[in-house]
Chains A and B, each alone.
Chain A
């Protein structure tokens, strides 16, 4: 059910990337407020140097996370992702099956809640 949201947010990400010529790797590339006023969740985006996009969907019902926290989450995501990429057996585009990556992500999500 979140796939739809994520896909729509991708459009916004693309729009933001194409607009700004500088600082593509800006960490706070995409901070949307509420995508839809009716649905209470926030979608945050982040783009790496290689145009890999991370999207975090956060439920607004819990106390909204601060900007710093979101940024730290993205940083951790980025770090874990680079670790996964370093594995020569991993082909970019495959679903990530790294247990370390999964553990980090789940830890992060638990922490956020």
Chain B
């Protein structure tokens, strides 16, 4: 295909400037020239219509350029026609003379999109815009002679894919930062000034015609890109077409790419802050038809926190690596600085795609210090970059909880604690890319011990509580009992006088009171016997009888043996004065006050027995708790011993 710098029709030569030349050649290619150089009439007609010139003018153009005569549009005619249309759009009459001078490029609404499409049979739908974009920019570094080569990827564009964004940065390095940056932000650009500045650098760049068009086209394209990005057929097809020419910044994710990755992420996981699980990501990336070891390596590089799931920045990194690999770039051994999540943070958070170039500039500025920080790889900086990720960490941890063992839950809390202690000895040994990953496993391994310790620590606290309750309860009971027993014991000891009616004897007496009773009775009996001896028996008798009757009425059987036992005691207590009657009286007398005392004493005894029972129960429970605590203590000590060597290393 010739790109003559002059187009001749009927002997007139029109000189084309570089820009015009490029534009026209692009348009020419768009119109499907066949082998002889004739253009498809349909495409030409479309193009003409897109120029938004009145039909009359178009006819004039056709006539003037000589196509009417020839019956077809050859290269020369086409170029002349374009020039004429440019003139017409400016307002000049459609004459050959008007095209002699400098003219801006003709504006073709809608056709510029097609122009970028360079798609032979594709209708001018918006969907193919990014393809156009990608193909054109991808082809930019190539000399125009390679245009047929470019057609090849174009044909494969039949399958609508949104992988073109990865290709778009394919503009060669001097262009890519500026052109690519300015491209999506064409709305902000100041017309042709920047374009002309670029033009000198890039001969034959087809991207220039894009830039030469009005900014409105760009906004059009931008808007139309978005729906395209959302429709993705398969990862594989997308990557096939990629012919990116990365040279100095292959690992930098551009805005379009990020946007595309965002949409891909959303297709897998609607929440941008959530994780994509490993299996999901695996299935997705396997579609890229990369060999599994390479995918495994990519995963290792991109999953910096080694959690088996991808956050959004990790996902972008992985995707980007896959794209690069597909385009023939060897996988790096370590994660490039520009791809690290900490680096990515500012871009992702702050730059929406439709903003001015200024955010991009900010982005770049942030990149460098971020990259430097990351490359330094110090603990502090990583910890500071962590806060940027902590929000994701929190959500990540929450989402991880159901999937991973509970041992990992305390990780975020323990990371800062343990990182400081454990990173330092290991940092010189380990790769930068793995430093963050170290924290999690480290806490993981010690989490088990910490968890065990925590669990062990927890049980000790409950035991004191029941103890308290026990003690409280016991104290209450005991207090009550003591009060009662105290009350009971005192009157029994101060036998005769202090009798109150508070001792209704309980129906069931414990059957073994003899010792206590005897003991309590002894002083009582001694006193009573003394008193009985001293005092006349009448009173005692009466009392005794009353008591005896009451006692007998109540039927306290044990008192009989008591009395019997008292017999020898009383007899022994009072051997010299032991007449049968006196003995009887003595016994009776001793028995009479004792019954009252007995009752009280028995009450007291009962109460004491109850308290004893309660206390024994309490004692046994406490003993059991003590055993448990002992066991816990032993385990704690053993764990402590375990930990000591661990902590020392």
Query: Are B444 and A107 neighbours in the complex by a CB distance under 8 Å?
Result: no
Q: Among the listed stretches B38-46, B59-67, B299-307, which one makes contact with chain A, having 4 or more residues with CB under 8 Å of it?
A: B299-307
B279 to chain A, nearest CB (A): 6
A92 to chain B, nearest CB (A): 13
Nearest A-chain residue to B443, judged by Cβ: A79
Nearest A-chain residue to B438, judged by Cβ: A79
Query: Are B281 and A83 neighbours in the complex by a CB distance under 8 Å?
Result: no
Query: Are B296 and A86 neighbours in the complex by a CB distance under 8 Å?
Result: no
Query: Are A87 and B296 neighbours in the complex by a CB distance under 8 Å?
Result: yes
Q: Given A82-B306, A99-B333, answer yes or no on A89-B296 (Cβ-Cβ < 8 Å).
A: yes
4 A-B pairs with least C-beta separation: A79-B441, A88-B278, A86-B308, A89-B296
A25 interfacial by beta-carbon distance below 8 Å? yes
A62 interfacial by beta-carbon distance below 8 Å? no
Q: Given A88-B278, A88-B282, answer yes or no on A78-B441 (Cβ-Cβ < 8 Å).
A: yes
A-B CB contact pairs (8 Å), 27 listed:
A27-B646, A68-B645, A68-B648, A69-B649, A71-B646, A79-B438, A79-B444, A82-B444, A83-B300, A83-B306, A83-B437, A86-B307, A86-B308, A87-B299, A87-B300, A87-B303, A88-B281, A88-B299, A88-B308, A99-B297, A99-B300, A100-B300, A100-B431, A100-B433, A104-B434, A107-B430, A111-B429
Having A25-B448, A68-B649, A78-B445, one finds 12 other A-B pairs with CB under 8 Å, namely A27-B642, A69-B649, A71-B645, A71-B649, A78-B441, A82-B441, A87-B278, A87-B303, A88-B279, A88-B281, A88-B282, A97-B293
Query: Are A97 and B296 neighbours in the complex by a CB distance under 8 Å?
Result: yes
B590 to chain A, nearest CB (A): 67
A7 interfacial by beta-carbon distance below 8 Å? no
A46 to chain B, nearest CB (A): 11
A60 interfacial by beta-carbon distance below 8 Å? no
A64 interfacial by beta-carbon distance below 8 Å? no
B622 to chain A, nearest CB (A): 27
Interface string of A66-106 (1 = CB under 8 A from B): 01110110010011101101111110000001111001100
Query: Are A86 and B430 neighbours in the complex by a CB distance under 8 Å?
Result: no
- Which residues of chain A are near B299, meaning CB under 8 Å? 87-89
Interface size on B, residues (CB 8 A): 33
Query: Are A98 and B300 neighbours in the complex by a CB distance under 8 Å?
Result: yes
Interface string of B511-541 (1 = CB under 8 A from A): 0000000000000000000000000000000
Q: Interface centre among A80, A87, A103, A111, by most B CB within 10 Å?
A: A87
Q: Given A87-B299, A87-B303, answer yes or no on A103-B431 (Cβ-Cβ < 8 Å).
A: yes
- Which residues of chain B are near A67, meaning CB under 8 Å? 645
Interface positions, chain A 14-42, Cβ under 8 Å from B, are 25, 27-28
B292 to chain A, nearest CB (A): 6
- Which residues of chain B are near A99, meaning CB under 8 Å? 297, 300, 333
State the CA gap A57–B292 with chains docked (Å). 31
B282 to chain A, nearest CB (A): 4
- Which residues of chain A are near B303, meaning CB under 8 Å? 86-87
Query: Are B441 and A89 neighbours in the complex by a CB distance under 8 Å?
Result: no
B545 interfacial by beta-carbon distance below 8 Å? no
State the CA gap A69–B444 with chains docked (Å). 19
- Which residues of chain A are near B297, meaning CB under 8 Å? 98-99
B442 interfacial by beta-carbon distance below 8 Å? yes
B56 to chain A, nearest CB (A): 65
State the CA gap A78–B437 with chains docked (Å). 13
B295 interfacial by beta-carbon distance below 8 Å? yes
